[in-house]
Each structure stands twice: as structure tokens, then as C-alpha cells.
Amino acid sequence: MASPVWPHRTSWAAVGIWATATLLIGLWNTLLAHQGVIERELLYLGEKALLVFHGRPPRLENLGFVSPPLPYAFVLITQSPLWGTAAIGGLLLAAAIAWMRRAQNDPWVLALGIALAATPPGLHLLSQSPRAGLLTLSLLASFVWLRRYCASQATVHLFLFGLVSSSIFLTAYEAVLLVPIMVLPVTMESRPVRENLAIFGTALTPSLFMMAGWAYLNWIFLGHPWAFFEGWQLGLIEKGTSSPGLANGVRQMGSFLASSWFSLLPWIVVGADTVFRRQGCWPTTLIMMGMPLLWIFLQGALGMPLRTETVPLFWACSLLAHGTQECGACVLPQPRRFLRLALLGAFVASWLLPQLEGAESLRQIVVGRTQVHSWIAERELVAVLRHEPGTVLLDDARLFPIVLLEGNPQRFLLPYEYEFQSALRTPSLFARFVVVDSSGDDQLTRVHPLARHGILPGFFLRSRHGELLLYERIAPSRRLGPQLEEREKRDHTRKP
Amino acid sequence: MWDCGCASKATVFPRLGELLLDSGLITEADIAEALEVQKERGGRLGWILMSLGKIRRLDLFQALADQYCIPFFRDGVDELLRHAQVELAHRLSFQEVVSTHLLPWYQEGTVLHLLTDYPCATDRQAFFAATFPEATAFRLHLVTDLDFARLVQRIYRHEMLDEAIHGLFYRAPEESANPVFTRRQILALGFLGNAALFLFYFHPILAAQFFFAAVQVLFLVSVLFKLLVSLVGAGQELAEPVTNEEVRTLRDEELPVYTILVPVYREPEVVGHLVHALKAMDYPQHKLDVLLLLEEDDTATLEAAKAAAPPGNWRFLILPDAQPKTKPKACNYGVFFSRGEFLTIYDAEDRPEPDQLKKAVVAFRKNPETVVCFQAALNYFNARENLITKLFTLEYSYWFDYLLPGLDRLGLPIPLGGTSNHFRTRILKELGAWDPFNVTEDADLGIRACASGFRVGIINSTTFEEANSRYRNWIRQRSRWIKGYLQTALVYNRRPLQMLRRLGFKNWLGFQLFILGTPLLFLCNPIVWAVFLGWLATGTKALDPFFPPLLVYIGLFNLLIGNFFGIYLNMIAVYRRKIYGLLPVALLNPLYWLFFHSVAAYKALWQLVAKPFYWEKTEHGLTRMAPPH
């Protein structure tokens, strides 16, 4: 009959940390953007959100069908990839601090754990990787609830695990394969088979439902149940990625461990402690410790590149797992001191040693050794376009950075628009400029294969920016000339 | 002068046990056993002997008459009534007669003769002296408690019936479900209906958009509210409002008299099981005041109950043959004769857990008087009988194990379940007991208690019932429940702002979302499905103007996520009771909603207008599965 006492004071503190962290990360992101540092993922999500609000016509499908949907939701709400990502980073940081405060009673470990957020991999995760940030948050939250269920056997914890883990699919599709692995240790405890099956079923149902529901929605609205997976792969997986396969997964795992082992010292210490002591829900804890490694393997097996954001996932798992240990019965001598040293070592190493792509750029900027510029070709091309009015025809499946960097989607003729197919056949009737990626395969190069080599009927090659080719129409068609000119003038003036 | 036999002669009363021993009605062993029980559990020796089956009721009262030196009448009610001056009795209300255990019988000169089933309680003298100033002497005559009740029923037949049926209506007409719609509500509905027609005529697309939006938003809010409450409820899963340790520490001699009302009508096949279940209650039998409430024309159930040989402390109350023959009327009638400090209701097919009454006593003692009632969980013993019982069991497990604890934890009004609600009798009477015009009188009472500043709590004990195993029977029962929810919503929305002030915003919102939202959710459900399936089957673009993008997304969310939560919450429901075999059945929840709940909801809506007070009787005793022992 007691009355509820929510929200707790700690909840308000977490909200405060979230707001502060979002502000700081947002400012940091803005600073980075001015320096020319912005990840492909942010541009992708930003362009999709831009088309919702300022497209011609507004691309309403992008309200709900941009993949992956959860990271995109933050960008959509804030209408800014920089601040949307900052909100995710802030959320992750606030949640991690809240969980660590509950789990850790060593202030040094807590302080060093928070300090890891200020390392290049930590900063990269918080400020440049909305998908990885949310995935880390989802994985950690799933583990928090699963471990609570393991300890308390309260159904509400299993219920919440199911709900939280289903968000993994909506954050990073391939990571849904990790969910059954997480649940396995819990279902291997000594219970009746029927109960274990029920737990397994309950834990997986939300994820299965999300998969089925999302595929169904894609089928209904986009005509293809796996459209979400293909669209996302096309937009976000960078060119030159290695081919998928189990061997690649193992290779990627090995290369990651070899290159980043010093950063993984806390993980090694806590992992060893867990294995030696085998206390409480240790199988769940062990799976939790192994999850980042599995994630790297999975990405490799699916042919995805090695990402730097995985390093903070190792740290977060270690700190959470360590919080579950009862130090009175430690096998390793003085594990707290070991952990403090390991955390300190990881912190120093992440600043001194070269990091994987992404985090390395941040390290370079902060250390100040080199000036980092990304998207140079795109920026140059946009600079040209900004001085010239007229409609631009391009396929934004891969060239989305240009749309976002230009900032005015109304002057672009994009595949979702009704006229796009007609424009593909006779670009000169519809656009003054055409942009082609000479190294890629898009709808334009499929219709006009020679466009990769500088030849597009009715256009001349105005400029080349890296692998991007900018074509400009030779002369307006005699018959439709005045109308075209008038239309282009009108389009150009319809700025949002 | 208060002439109570020996007492008035200042004689020392002979002991009842000695009297019974001397007359050879009991043995030394019997009295030793009864005294042992009295030492352990307290109570009156005569009632203990009778509840142990050592003596007959007539013998006990004869012994009491001998003990108190007053005459005992055992010739039956008709004979007593032949001598009665009924107008004397009517100078008192039946409540006063029942509470004082004294019925004015006839007057001879200035001597008033009184009938009693509880001799020589001296605290009533002043009251009678004031009520009958012309009487200079009062002489008592003993009758059995059953005869006393029958006499009261015969003499006050019309008053009692009227009070049982219209009592609440007379005291607080605004809280009675009669009439269903007030004039103001009819005007408001008429205005809204006309406004809708105008809108449809002049702006059909806007009107349709508004209609679909309202349906979708209602559905969404209702689903999210239930999710929130269930989550909070699930958080209480391991909490025990009353622990076994607390029950163990209860001392039997300190337990109060507990009234159990058992309204039965045409249920001869299950009443025997109930007698056995109540005999098995872990509560001193002589402190149980069991009232079997039977209708006058239902001789079959009466005979079956007699054949089950209930203990002597059970009373059969035969309700006069009058409409409506409903459970709330019977319960109100039973309340008049209740003796217990606390009171509960069981249906004929109920199998309460033996420690339920003790848990209720602990809960009452642990909580302030403002907590007027504790609801025990209900569940089914025939869950595995067929698909309907499986779905029903899942629903009940979710409702009583997760949803109600959630409401309790959030401090929101709790609609009571049909049985196993335990009351403080005094406050129940103050509240006006049940509304016979409301077909879910229990849910109504829960809300009324909240509106009067009281609270309803829950206890961790279960009563097992028989789940409806047949579709038509299920629809009958559920349509009554949903109709009752609609009635309750209408009653407490007669003056919404006043109710808002009385309940406070949180309770008011909880009431609206739960009591009004539940039927509306089921009414909206087929509309949501019909639009979706129609669109899926035909691929028509005709609906596009009615569904702006935001509405499409809410609709999709409702369809996918709403139904998902329906399934998932039912999946969770299996854990507390470890009924894991029912887990796959949860996947059928959308069909359960559509083909069961929604069908019942539309039937309820129709009946609300056509037959608002009609009581859809649920048939019991259909199961082939044996009840638990």
C-alpha cells in the first residue's frame, strides 16, 4: 500500500548529467564540424531528416522508414545530426555513470571509468557514432536487466530485458544475433525445462516481434521486406570493405585484439577475475564480457569494417561486470588496484598510441599533430554549386553528403521524386547539373555507364573533385529552353 | 424492569457446559475438546460445540434457555407470528432489531414481551425503555438465531427488500446506476451526436479524420496506460503484502467474527464443493458467520446445501421472491444480518486458499481504517480444459497478479473483482454496500470507496474459480462486466468536474483510463482491424485522404506495438503461477481481444441502451475438471 516514490533523486541527477553532457557533446560536435570532421553516418541520417522537413516534396516516408530507426529518431527530433548524436552520447554517458555508481564502491574506479569518456575512442563513440552509441546503451541496459533477473528472478526484470533488448534490432540489425547468446546462460540454470523454455521465449519474443514487424512495414511501404537492411548497407558501409565470412570474422577479431590490447587492459583484468572466481551469475557476466568480442566477430563475418567504437564497449562491460564482483573473495590479488592501474593504462594508451580510424582523427586533432579534413571532395563540389543556380540531379543513395552539405534539398532531383526516372533518361531536360561518383554504382551510372568516364549526353564535365564528377548542361533545349530556365529560377528561389 | 429469568433474580448462572453434561447431550470428552478449542481460539462454548457438531442447534438454545431461565420457543415461525403484534415491531427499524437481537413480540398491559436469540445482553435496556416508554417491564423469550432471522424477514419483508434494492438510491441517488443516463448526459450525447452529423455532412473528410484519430489515440493511450500499470505491478511481484510469518503470529482467540456471504442461485451442482472449501478454511469455525443467500424459488440449491451438511454456525437466508434476482441485491440483504467485524463474498464455485481470511485480518490490522477493502487474487482451477479457459486464465493471471498490484502501487482506484473482496463491515454499510442496478456492482463499489476517501488494497491470497469454458457463456459473462464498466463510467461522469475534485487528478485520470478506457479499447479494436484488413486485402487508395501520415504512424504503432504489448503482458502473466504451458497461448491474444472481448463489448453497448439492468447470468458447473481440494 506504499505510495510510489518515483522519480528518485538519482533520476533527476541522471537527467541533469544527460542535459549537461548533451550540451557539451553538442558544442564539441559543432566545433568538430567546423574543423571538417564529421562521420558518414551523421551525414546519412542528417540528409534523411533534412528531406522530411525541406524536401521537394517533403519526403514523409522518412518520418518512419529510415534505417536504423532508433538512431535516426534522435536526429529527426532534433533536426540536426550533430545535436541528435550529442543527445545519444549524453544519454549513454548519464546511464553509464548511473549504473557505475550503483555497481562501484571504489571512487577511483568510478573516476577513472568516467575519465575514459574523454579518450579518443570514448569521444568518438559519444560524439560521432549514434548507432554504436545507442547499441552500447542497449547492450548495457539489456545486461543490467538480465543480471537483475538472474539475481532476483523477478519477472519484471525479464520483461524489461525483453523490451530493452528488442531495441538492439532497431539500432543495429545484425546485433540482434547477440540477443539469444545473452539469454543462454540464464536458461541453462537448474530449472524445469519448461520454465527455461518459457524464459527463452519471453526474452526473445520482443526482438522477434520487432524483426517481423519492421520487415512487414518495409514490405508494406517500400515493397521489399529487407529494404531496411539493403538501404542502410548501401548508404553506410564504406567502399572496399572486406568480403563476409566466418574467417573474416576471426581475422577481424584477431587484428582488433592485436592492435588494441593495451586499451583492453581493464577488460582483461575483470575477465580473468570473473573466470577464476565464478561467483553469483558469473556465466551471464562472462557472456557480457565476451559480447564486444562477439560483436567484432559478427561484423567481420558480415563483411563490415572494424570500428573504433567497440573499444568503449569493452570498457563499459568491464566496469559493469566488475561492479558485480564480491571483492572479499577475490582470487586475483588486490583486483581493485589492478583495475585502477588497468584503467589508467587504457586512458594513457588511448591518447599516446595510434587508434583505429575515427578515433585516430580525434586524437590527431586534440594532440594537434595534423590538420584533419574530411569530405574534401564533397565540400569543394558544394562550393561550386553554391555559386551556380539550377537543379542538380544525383542519386543520394551514396551521395547524400552533398545534399546535406549544400543545405537546400529543394534544388536536388532525387530518386524519391516523381520525375526522377524521366530525368534519368533525359537529364538535360530536367537538370542543369549532374553529379556522378566515378568509383560507384548508382542509378545514373547504370543508365549512363560512360558518365563514370566523363561523358554524359547533353552535358560537359564541369569539374572533377576526387572521384566525384560534376556535369553541367551544354545548352538548354531549344524547344523547352525558356520554360526550363524559368523553372530552374523558380526552384532555386524556393529555399526553405 | 428487565426480566431476564435468573439474571433478574440475581442468581448465579449455571454453567452451560454443566447443563449440557447433566442433560446427557454431550460427553466429558466433548466438553474437554470444546474447552481446549476455547482456550486456543476463544469464542463462546455453545457455538464451539455446535460448530464442532457435538450438539444440535435446538439443544444448544434449549440449554441457553435453561441457563438464563427464560422460555424457549421452538414451535416455528408461524406459531410465533400468530401471537405477534406486528405494529410493535414496526416501531423499530429492522436494522435496530438485528443489531439489538431483540424483536418486540406482544404487549400485555405494561409488560412488553421480546424475542431474542442472544439473551441477557444488558446494554439494550435504555434503548428499549426510551422507545417503549409505556412499557414498565420487559420480558425476554428465546428463539433460535435462524427463527429470529426468519421472523425479521417475515415482519420486515418489504422494508428489507426495498432497502436492499433502493437503499443506495435513496441515500445517494447520484451514485446509483439508476437511471443509466441523466438528463444532462442525454443532452450532452445528443449535442455531440448532432455536432458529429453536421461535421460529417459539411466536412466528411475532416470528420472521418477526426473519428479515426480519436479511435487511434484512445487505443494508444489505453494500451500505454496498461503497460505502465503492468510494469509497476510486475515490480511488486516478489512483494508480499502479508507474509506467512505474520499469519502464523496471529492468535486465534484474538480473531474477530468474520462474515462470509455466499449468494447462490440455481447452482445445486457446485454448492456442495463450496461447503467443503469453506470448512477447510484456516479460521476458527465458530468465528465464521457464513450466510448462504438463497432465492425463495430455488429449492434445488437449498436442498443441495442442506445435503452438504454445513456446520451449525452457517445460516441459510431465503430471499423473498422479488425482482431483480441479482447478486448485489442478495449481498445487500445478507449484510443486514452480518455479525462479523469483517465481511467477504464468495461465489458458489469458489475455492479460496485456506489462509485467506487470516491474511485479510492481518492486512486490515496493518493498514489504517481508510483502507476499506482488500481484494484477493482470482484464478482458475480448470485452466487446461480448453483454449477458452487457457486464454481466460492468462487474462486473469495478468489482471490480478500484475495489473491490480500496479494500480495499488500507484495509489489508483481499484475496481473490485466479483468475489473474495474483504471489507470492514461497518464502513461497507456506511458506503451503502452494493448498487443492485449496476451489473458490475463490485467494480462500482471500489470506485465509490475511492470517491468517498477510502482505499482498496490487495492481499496475496488466491481464490480459485471455474473458468468459463463455453463461448456463449463467456460472452454473456463478459458483456455483463463490460456493461457494468460502462454504467460505472456513466455514474461517475455525471458531474466530471465534481468527481475530479473528489478523486484528485491522478485518481480521476486512472479511473477514466481504466474504467472507461477498457470498454472503449475493445470497442475501438474491431475498427482498427477492419480498416487495416480492408486496406491490406484491397490495397485501396480510397482511405488515403482519411489517414494523414501522423495518423498512419499512430495506427501502425497501435496495430503492431499495441497488439505486441497485449501478447507480451500475457506472456509475463505465466510466471507468478508457474503456468508455463500457457505461454504459447499468449500469442493468440489479438484474436482473443477481437473475437471475444470486442464481441462482448458491442453486446454490452447494445444492452446498455436496450436492457441496462439485465443481469446476464453465468452458468457454472460446466467444467469436467475436478476443483482443487
- Structure confidence by residue, pLDDT tens digits, B487-537: 999 999 998 898 999 889 999 999 999 999 999 989 988 988 888 888 778
Range in A6-10, A250-254, B368-372, B570-574 the model is least confident about: A6-10
* Strand duo B137-142 + B111-116: pairing: parallel
- A205 reaches B (C-beta below 8 A): yes
Do A341 and A389 fall within a single domain? no
Chain B residues with CB-CB distance to A160 below 8 A:
231
Do the chains contact at A154 and B408, CB–CB below 8 Å?
A: no
Whether the predicted pLDDT of B427 surpasses 90: yes
The total of other beta-carbon atoms located within 10 Å of residue B173's CB is 12
Do A384 and A319 fall within a single domain? no
DSSP B8: T
Do the chains contact at A217 and B409, CB–CB below 8 Å?
A: no
Do the chains contact at A155 and B549, CB–CB below 8 Å?
A: no
Supply the pLDDT for residue A475.
Answer: 67
Do A484 and A420 fall within a single domain? yes
**Is B63 part of a structural domain of the chain?**
yes
Do A57 and A138 fall within a single domain? yes
**Is B82 part of a structural domain of the chain?**
yes
Do the chains contact at A4 and B234, CB–CB below 8 Å?
A: no
- B457 reaches A (C-beta below 8 A): yes
Average pLDDT across each block of 10 residues of chain A; the chain has 496 residues. List them in order.
Answer: 52 88 93 84 90 83 77 90 94 90 79 90 91 92 89 88 93 90 85 90 93 86 78 60 80 86 88 79 84 89 78 87 55 66 90 80 75 79 90 90 90 89 89 89 88 88 90 69 60 49
The tens digit of pLDDT for each residue in B441-453 reads: 999 999 999 989 9
Number of residue pairs across A and B with CB atoms under 8 Å? Answer: 74
- B302 reaches A (C-beta below 8 A): no
Cross-strand partners of A23: none
* Strand duo A392-393 + A412-413: pairing: parallel
Supply the pLDDT for residue A328.
Answer: 43
Number of domains in chain B: 1
* Residue A320 belongs to domain spanning: 9-367
**Is B412 part of a structural domain of the chain?**
no
Chain A residues with CB-CB distance to B578 below 8 A:
195
Supply the pLDDT for residue B352.
Answer: 93
The Cα B158–Cα B588 span in angstroms is 50
**Is A165 part of a structural domain of the chain?**
yes
Number of domains in chain A: 2
**Is B140 part of a structural domain of the chain?**
yes
Percent share of chain B, pLDDT over 70: 97
The minimal CB distance from B231 to the residues A60, A156, A217 is found for: A156
**Is B380 part of a structural domain of the chain?**
no
The tens digit of pLDDT for each residue in B302-352 reads: 898 888 888 877 889 998 888 777 889 999 999 999 999 999 999 888 899
Do A344 and A453 fall within a single domain? no
Do the chains contact at B575 and A206, CB–CB below 8 Å?
A: no
- Adjacency order of strands within the sheet including A433-437: A412-413, A392-393, A433-437, A468-473, A459-465
Supply the pLDDT for residue A148.
Answer: 87
Whether the predicted pLDDT of B544 surpasses 90: no
ipTM associated with this complex? 0.78
Task: Provide mean pLDDT across the span B383-394.
Answer: 94
Do the chains contact at B234 and A3, CB–CB below 8 Å?
A: no
Do A439 and A483 fall within a single domain? yes
Supply the pLDDT for residue B340.
Answer: 93
Residue of B232, B397, B398, B560 to mutate for A, most A C-beta atoms under 10 A = B560
Give the distance from CA B524 to its chain's centroid: 30
Are A268 and A346 in contact by the 8 Å Cβ rule? The answer is no
Do A417 and A342 fall within a single domain? no
* Residue B150 belongs to domain spanning: 2-158
Q: B residues 361-390 near A, CB within 8 Å?
A: 367, 371
**Is A2 part of a structural domain of the chain?**
no
Percent share of chain B, pLDDT over 90: 49
Task: Provide mean pLDDT across the span B183-189.
Answer: 92
Backbone angles phi, psi at A466, to 5 degrees: 60, -120
**Is A4 part of a structural domain of the chain?**
no
Do the chains contact at B574 and A198, CB–CB below 8 Å?
A: yes
Supply the pLDDT for residue A331.
Answer: 45
Q: Which of A367, A397, A414 is the last residue of a domain?
A: A367
Query: How far apart, in Å, are the Cα atoms of B400 and each of A157, A345, B393, B480?
Result: 19, 54, 10, 19
Name all contacts of B530-535 with Cβ < 8 Å and 24+ positions apart. B531/B212, B531/B555, B532/B559
Do A305 and A277 fall within a single domain? yes
Supply the pLDDT for residue A40.
Answer: 86
Do A347 and A389 fall within a single domain? no
Q: Give the DSSP per-residue string, A263-292.
A: TTHHHHHHHHHHHHH--SSHHHHHHHHHHH
Q: Which of A312, A340, A367 is the last residue of a domain?
A: A367
Do A363 and A396 fall within a single domain? no
**Is A459 part of a structural domain of the chain?**
yes
The minimal CB distance from B549 to the residues A63, A153, A163 is found for: A63
The minimal CB distance from B411 to the residues A3, A194, A213 is found for: A3
C-alpha cell at A183: 539469454
Supply the pLDDT for residue A334.
Answer: 54
Chain A residues with CB-CB distance to B556 below 8 A:
64, 217
Whether the predicted pLDDT of B585 surpasses 50: yes
Residue of A1, A62, A202, A211 to mutate for B, most B C-beta atoms under 10 A = A1
C-alpha cell at B461: 491470497
Do A359 and A394 fall within a single domain? no
The tens digit of pLDDT for each residue in B254-283 reads: 899 999 999 998 888 888 888 888 888 999
Chain A residues with CB-CB distance to B231 below 8 A:
156, 159-160
Q: Which of A305, A340, A367 is the last residue of a domain?
A: A367
Supply the pLDDT for residue B479.
Answer: 96
Chain B residues with CB-CB distance to A65 below 8 A:
none
**Is A3 part of a structural domain of the chain?**
no
Mean of the per-residue pLDDT values of chain B: 89
Do A427 and A357 fall within a single domain? no
Are A363 and A356 in contact by the 8 Å Cβ rule? The answer is no
Q: Is A244 helix (H, G, I), strand (E, B) or coil?
A: coil
Do the chains contact at A1 and B232, CB–CB below 8 Å?
A: no
